[in-house]
Amino acid sequence: MNYSEYKNYMSKIADVGHSIAVLSWDKEVYMPSGSSRFRSQQVATLSGIAHEMMTRSSFGGSLKKLMTDESLSPKEKNNVSLTLKEYNKATQFSEEFVIKRSMLTSEAFHAWVKAKEENNWLTYAPALEKLVDLKREEAKLLGNADHPYDNMLDIYEPGMTVKKLDQIFIDVRERLLPLLEKVRNLPRVDDSFLFLDYDENKQWDYGIDVLKAIGYNFSMGRQDKSAHPFTTSFSPEDVRVTTRLKKDDFSYMLWSTIHEGGHALYEQGLPTSEYGLPSGSYMSLGIHESQSRLWENNVGRDFDFWQHQFTVLQDIFPSQLGKVSFVDFMKAINKIEPNLIRTEADELHYHFHVMIRYEIEKKLIGGEIEVKDLKDVWNDMYEEYLGLRPKTDEEGILQDIHWSHGSFGYFPTYSLGSFYAAQFFEQAQNDIYRLNEKIERGDTTELLSWLRQNIHEVGHSMEAEELCNKVTGSGLQLDSFINYIEKKFTRMYEEY
Amino acid sequence: MNYSEYKNYMSKIADVGHSIAVLSWDKEVYMPSGSSRFRSQQVATLSGIAHEMMTRSSFGGSLKKLMTDESLSPKEKNNVSLTLKEYNKATQFSEEFVIKRSMLTSEAFHAWVKAKEENNWLTYAPALEKLVDLKREEAKLLGNADHPYDNMLDIYEPGMTVKKLDQIFIDVRERLLPLLEKVRNLPRVDDSFLFLDYDENKQWDYGIDVLKAIGYNFSMGRQDKSAHPFTTSFSPEDVRVTTRLKKDDFSYMLWSTIHEGGHALYEQGLPTSEYGLPSGSYMSLGIHESQSRLWENNVGRDFDFWQHQFTVLQDIFPSQLGKVSFVDFMKAINKIEPNLIRTEADELHYHFHVMIRYEIEKKLIGGEIEVKDLKDVWNDMYEEYLGLRPKTDEEGILQDIHWSHGSFGYFPTYSLGSFYAAQFFEQAQNDIYRLNEKIERGDTTELLSWLRQNIHEVGHSMEAEELCNKVTGSGLQLDSFINYIEKKFTRMYEEY
Q: How far apart are alpha carbons B450 and B447 in whole angstroms? A: 5
| Pairing of β B238-243 and β A238-243 | unpaired
Is residue A210 within 8 Å of A257, Cβ to Cβ? yes
Write out the residue range of the structural domain in which residue B29 sits: 3-91
Q: Of A131, A152, A175, which residue constitutes the final position of a domain?
A: A131
Ordered DSSP codes for A85-132? HHHHHHTSS-HHHHHHHHHHHHHHHHHHHHHHHHT-HHHHHHHHHHHH
Distances, alpha carbon A289 to alpha carbons A273, A360, B208, in Å: 24, 22, 41
Q: Is residue B106 part of a domain?
A: no
Residues of B in contact with A41 (CB under 8 A): 11, 15
Q: Which of A15, A26, A222 sits opposite B41 (nearest CB)?
A: A15
Q: Which of B45, B49, B237 sits opposite A37 (nearest CB)?
A: B237
Q: How far apart are alpha carbons B101 and A450 in whole angstroms? A: 47
Predicted-assembly ipTM surpassing the 0.90 threshold = yes
- pLDDT above 80: residue B496: no
Ordered DSSP codes for A393-407? STTTTTS-SGGGGT-
Count of domains for chain A: 2
Q: Of A114, A131, A148, which residue constitutes the final position of a domain?
A: A131
Q: Is residue B329 part of a domain?
A: yes
Q: How far apart are alpha carbons B299 and B297 in whole angstroms? A: 5
Give pLDDT, residue A118. Answer: 97
Q: How far apart are alpha carbons A359 and A256 in whole angstroms? A: 27
Distances, alpha carbon A425 to alpha carbons A451, B177, B336, in Å: 9, 78, 69
Is residue A14 within 8 Å of A275, Cβ to Cβ? yes
- Verify that A224 and A123 share a domain, yes or no: no
- pTM value is 0.95
- Verify that A344 and A197 share a domain, yes or no: yes
Residue B222, classed as helix, strand or coil, is strand
Is residue A75 within 8 Å of A279, Cβ to Cβ? yes
Distances, alpha carbon B220 to alpha carbons B77, B239, B265, B276, B294, in Å: 30, 6, 11, 18, 22
* Interface probe with A: pick from B20, B27, B42, most Cβ of A within 10 Å: B42
| Pairing of β A238-243 and β A221-225 | parallel
Average pLDDT rounded to a whole number, residues B230-236: 98
- Verify that A490 and A354 share a domain, yes or no: yes
Q: How far apart are alpha carbons B326 and B306 in whole angstroms? A: 8
- Verify that A24 and A161 share a domain, yes or no: no
The pLDDT-based confidence of B183 (bands split at 50, 70, 90) is confident
pLDDT tens digits, B252-299: 999 999 999 999 999 999 999 999 999 999 999 999 999 999 999 999
Where do the DSSP E strands lie in A334-452? none
Ordered DSSP codes for A17-75? HHHHHHHHHHHHHT--TT-HHHHHHHHHHHHHHHHHHHH-HHHHHHHHHHTT-TTS-HH
How distant is the Cα of B113 from the closest Cα of chain A, in angstroms? 22
Q: What's the half-sphere exposure (Cβ side, CA atoms, 13 Å) at B114?
A: 13
Please give the share of chain B, as a percent, with pLDDT higher than 90.
95
- Verify that A138 and A114 share a domain, yes or no: no
Q: Is residue B26 part of a domain?
A: yes
Catalytic machinery residues of B:
260
The pLDDT-based confidence of B95 (bands split at 50, 70, 90) is confident
The number of helix segments (H) and strand segments (E) in chain A equals: 22, 3
Closest listed residue to residue A301, CA positions, set A279, A330, A321: A330
Alpha helices in A269-325 (DSSP H): 285-293, 303-316, 318-321
Q: Is residue B264 part of a domain?
A: yes
Q: How far apart are alpha carbons A140 and A366 in whole angstroms? A: 10
**Is A38 close to B12, i.e. CB distance below 8 A?**
no
Is residue A124 within 8 Å of A112, Cβ to Cβ? yes
Handedness of CA B485, B490, B492, B493 (dihedral sign): positive
- Verify that B85 and B134 share a domain, yes or no: no
Beta carbons within 8 Å of A249's beta carbon, 6+ residues apart: A194, A195, A198
Average pLDDT rounded to a whole number, residues B181-207: 95
Q: How far apart are alpha carbons A288 and A274 in whole angstroms? A: 18
SS3 string, A217-280, reads CHHHEEEEECCCCCEEEEECCEEEEEECCCCCCHHHHHHHHHHHHHHHHHHHCCCHHHCCCHHH
- Verify that B230 and B288 share a domain, yes or no: yes
Q: How far apart are alpha carbons B277 and B80 in whole angstroms? A: 9
Residues of B in contact with A211 (CB under 8 A): none
Tens digit of pLDDT at every position of chain A (496 positions): 999 999 999 999 999 999 999 999 999 999 999 999 999 999 999 999 999 999 999 999 999 999 999 999 999 999 999 999 999 999 988 888 988 998 999 999 999 999 999 999 999 999 999 999 999 999 998 888 899 999 999 999 999 999 999 999 999 999 999 999 988 889 999 999 999 999 999 999 999 999 999 999 999 999 999 999 999 999 999 999 999 999 999 999 999 999 999 999 999 999 999 999 999 999 999 999 999 999 999 999 999 999 999 999 999 999 999 999 999 999 999 999 999 999 999 999 999 999 999 999 999 999 999 999 999 999 999 999 999 999 999 999 999 999 999 999 999 999 999 999 999 999 999 999 999 999 999 999 999 999 999 999 999 999 999 999 999 999 999 999 999 999 999 999 887 7
Burial B156-185 (b: 16+ CB within 10 A, else e): bbbebbbebbeebbebbeeebeeebeebee
* Interface probe with B: pick from A9, A41, A56, A212, most Cβ of B within 10 Å: A41
Residues of A in contact with B238 (CB under 8 A): 31-32, 35, 38-39
Is residue A161 within 8 Å of A146, Cβ to Cβ? yes
Q: How far apart are alpha carbons B199 and B180 in whole angstroms? A: 34
Q: Which of B30, B38, B275 sits opposite A38 (nearest CB)?
A: B275
Phi, psi angles (nearest 5°) of residue A461: -90, -5
| Pairing of β B221-225 and β B231-235 | unpaired
Beta carbons within 8 Å of B51's beta carbon, 6+ residues apart: B90
Phi, psi angles (nearest 5°) of residue A235: 170, 165
Helices A74-90 + A57-66 axis angle, to 10 = 150
How distant is the Cα of A134 from the closest Cα of chain B, in angstroms? 29
User: Residue B191: how many CB atoms within 10 A of its CB?
Assistant: 17
Q: How far apart are alpha carbons B93 and B423 in whole angstroms? A: 38
How distant is the Cα of B221 from the closest Cα of chain A, in angstroms? 6
The catalytic residue among A260, A267, A359, A463 is A260
pLDDT tens digits, B108-135: 999 999 999 999 999 999 999 999 999 9
pLDDT tens digits, B417-469: 999 999 999 999 999 999 999 999 999 999 999 999 999 999 999 999 999 99
In this structure, what is the dihedral angle of CA atoms A344, A346, A347, A348, given to the nearest 10 degrees? -120
- Verify that A231 and A341 share a domain, yes or no: yes
**Is B42 close to A221, i.e. CB distance below 8 A?**
no
Identify the contact set of chain B against chain A, taking CB-CB distances under 8 A.
11-12, 15-16, 18-19, 22-23, 26, 30-35, 37-39, 41-42, 45-46, 48-49, 217-222, 224, 234-235, 237-238, 272, 275
What CATH number has the domain bearing residue A203? 1.10.1370.30
- Verify that B51 and B130 share a domain, yes or no: no
- Verify that B75 and B163 share a domain, yes or no: no
**Is A45 close to B16, i.e. CB distance below 8 A?**
yes
Q: Is residue B68 part of a domain?
A: yes
Closest chain B residue to A8, measured at CA: B45
Q: Is residue B108 part of a domain?
A: no
Q: Which of B15, B37, B48 sits opposite A42 (nearest CB)?
A: B15
Beta carbons within 8 Å of A200's beta carbon, 6+ residues apart: A245, A247
**Is A15 close to B237, i.e. CB distance below 8 A?**
no
Give pLDDT, residue A494. Answer: 85
Average pLDDT rounded to a whole number, residues B23-51: 94
Q: Is residue B417 part of a domain?
A: yes
- Verify that B373 and B454 share a domain, yes or no: yes
- Verify that A196 and A106 share a domain, yes or no: no
Q: Of A131, A165, A195, which residue constitutes the final position of a domain?
A: A131
Q: How far apart are alpha carbons A236 and B39 in whole angstroms? A: 11
Residue B239, beta-bridge partner list: B221, B233
Q: Is residue B109 part of a domain?
A: no
Give pLDDT, residue A207. Answer: 98
Assign 3-state DSSP to chain A and report helix, strand, coil percentages, each to 5: 70, 5, 30
